[in-house]
Structure 1
Amino acid sequence: MSVRVPIHRAWPGPGDGPLDDAALTALYGRADRPRLRVNFVTSLDGAVTLDDYSAGLSGEPDKRVFGLLRMLCDALVVGAGTLRHEGYRAIRLDPARRAWRREHGLAEYPTLVVVSDSLRLDPAQAAFADAPVRPVVLTRDDAAAPTGLTDVADVVRTGPDRVDLAAGLAGLRRRGLTQLLCEGGPRLFGALTAADLVDEVCLTVAPLLAGPGPGRITTGAPSPPRGLPLRHVLATADGVLMLRHARD
């Protein structure tokens, strides 16, 4: 069993002691209106991966918040490339987090939403085949679905040339999926930013330099800069920072 690393609030106004799961849940919470929250981990010099995977940047405190954010969301949004590369499995939660969701009137598990222009997806991947809730795939109008995909997921077509993210997110909200958590990858983050759809960014900063090579947490066509005010800073004794930025 892993040892829990204490997480403290560093700003605003440092708290009296380590934050338990209830305090962390209250800090991140669920919004009273539709929200798209993006969650990433990065090195001090902006790398999105270490040894080609995000897990190399993540430690126990980040994984703890990562799990709580999944508990809080209605749907988990991820790009197809990240789904394949990171080897996503079915989105499941431990009994305590499932109980919290039931107590708050939520479905026991969040819905997985995959964004894919090409539909280059494997229906046998555990993220689909073993999913406790039927996933949703957002794709473009003319993408050809691989055999078996519609047996394990709802395929929603939202644009003639590429996924229309604004239309796709609006469709999710019509399904009652109003609290959306995006875990990447960088290309999807860049596209969501360009479409001005990002309401919140939760960013864990690992206290290390990855050096040249890895990409940034966002990529794609340039888009205008947008302000996103800082809401809180959490920290651990070994120098991990967890930042939350959100729109007013």
Structure 2
Amino acid sequence: MYRLWPPDEAGNVDRAELERLYGYPEGESKWVAVNFVSSVDGAVEVAGRSGGLTNAADREVYPLGSKLADVILVGSNTAVIEEFRGIEPDEDQAELRERHGLAPIPRIAVVTSGRTLPPDAPVITDVQVPTIVITSGSAPRELREQWEAAGAEVVLAGETEVDFAAATAALEQRGLRRIHCDGGPRLFGSLLEAGAVDELRLTISPLLVSGTADRIAKGAGIDPARLSLASVLAQDDTLLVRYLVSNS
């Protein structure tokens, strides 16, 4: 892994430096880092899944975001399609989290309107610590009770639709300030609209896909958010870019 930016810090990057780059700022305030892999032409999936875009460079860097997080935030569509499950830490991850003063296992928070998250989804049932389901007051009470019966903690953020500023604040109130967002595009778009994103971590896979695949953010649209380049790493033909997001 080689650092291209900042230019005065160019050179090979070791594991300790990767942990620093893909960790979270010190302090008490929450930090929302959104993570995506895309093709060079902007596609976020191949044949309906992001797995077709990932490679060795992405697999080395991308997991650090979740391994160093308090909570993994994911949209229900992505959780169901990707068959998202709870984290089962290996010895390396357990040592990493202990060294950084983190709980042994990061929690998972799933955002849903209620229509796309069945109570028997693996992201709820196949976990070691209770999943947090974030929804709005419009989600059917019976479904909320089913999520709770399956072991989830249900958080209401908003009356008729999910309020994403309130959702991330609810995680922060639970001491979950290091928030690793795993997508998908609608969740990212909604977080941007709420001004709740602090950092974008993007792996640019050396592929051209074309077709009709989504791009990394999707939604009603926002006034363009200003980004500042934090770091650029390269391995083989892959670029790994970090941007800080201005919410002012």
Q: TM-score, normalised by structure 2?
A: 0.92
Aligned to 2:176: 177
Aligned to 2:4: 10
Contact 1:119 1:139 (8 Å CA) reproduced: no
Q: Separation in 2 of the partners of 1:63 and 1:222?
A: 30
**Correspondences of 1:16-55 after superposition (within 5 Å):** 16-17=11-12, 19-32=13-26, 33-55=29-51
Aligned to 1:72: 68
Matched, 1:113 2:109: yes
Aligned to 2:134: 138
Residue type at the aligned position of 1:10:
L
Structure 1 range deviating more: 72-81 or 59-68: 59-68
- SS of corresponding position for 2:110: strand
Q: Separation in 2 of the partners of 1:44 and 1:104?
A: 34
Cα distance, 1:42 vs. partner?
0.6
Residue type at the aligned position of 1:198:
V
**Correspondences of 1:166-245 after superposition (within 5 Å):** 166-237=165-236, 239-245=237-243
User: Structure 2, unaligned stretches of length 5 or more?
Assistant: none
Cα distance, 1:149 vs. partner?
1.3
Q: Separation in 1 of the partners of 2:225 and 2:122?
A: 37
Contact 2:233 2:241 (8 Å CA) reproduced: yes
Percent of aligned pairs with the same amino acid:
38
Cα distance, 1:212 vs. partner?
2.5
Once superposed, which parts of structure 1, at least 4 consecutive aligned residues long, lie more than 4 Å away? none
- The alignment's C-alpha RMSD in Å is 1.5
Q: TM-score, normalised by structure 1?
A: 0.92
Aligned match of 1:150 in 135, 148, 155? 148
Q: Separation in 2 of the partners of 1:102 and 1:244?
A: 25
Cα distance, 1:119 vs. partner?
5.1
Cα distance, 1:94 vs. partner?
2.1
Contact 1:91 1:127 (8 Å CA) reproduced: no
Contact 1:29 1:72 (8 Å CA) reproduced: yes
Q: Separation in 1 of the partners of 2:15 and 2:128?
A: 24
Aligned to 2:94: 98
- SS of corresponding position for 1:226: coil
Structure 1 range deviating more: 71-80 or 88-97: 88-97
Q: Separation in 2 of the partners of 1:155 and 1:34?
A: 20
Deviations 1:68-90 (A, max 9, x none): 11111110000001111111122
